[in-house]
Amino acid sequence: MISEIRPGQFEAEVKKSRRPVLLEFYASWCPRCAMMDDVLEEFESVHRGRIKVCRINEADAALLMERYGIDRVPAFLAFSGGKVTGVTAGVVSKAVLEKLF
């Protein structure tokens, strides 16, 4: 299941997660973000139990976006042990997301 998080949950849900985390920054108005829905669902299904998948709405996450240098959506950050292991943006494949870890 893909979790929708708010900025106040970032520390607990992403940084302190025991599992690696794929975090998507998205916007409801963004057609490219909508194009990634099926890719994210497939990624989550394949890696369920091993990699946690979360989404955060860019409208709520300006400070986090600035902190991690995110300037467009969709953008994806991979975290392991609380550290960023990879970053990508735009419409990408499941294979590209997997290489972030």
> What does pTM read for this prediction?
0.96
Is residue 54 part of the annotated active site? The answer reads no
Is residue 30 part of the annotated active site? The answer reads yes
User: What does the pLDDT look like over 45-72, one tens digit per residue?
Assistant: 999 999 999 999 999 999 999 999 999 9
- Using alpha carbons, select from 21, 10, 1, 6 the residue that is nearest to residue 84: 21
Please give the chain's pLDDT, 101 residues, in tens: 899 999 999 999 999 999 999 999 999 999 999 999 999 999 999 999 999 999 999 999 999 999 999 999 999 999 999 999 999 999 999 999 999 99
Instruction: Name the helix (H) or strand (E) containing 44.
Output: helix 37-47
Q: Identify the active-site residue in 23, 33, 75, 100.
A: 33
What residue spans define the domains of the chain?
Answer: 3-98
Q: Which two tokens stand for residue 10?
A: 């970032």
Q: Identify the active-site residue in 2, 7, 27, 30.
A: 30
CATH 3.40.30.10 is the classification of domain 3-98: yes
- Name the β-bridge partners of 78: 22, 86
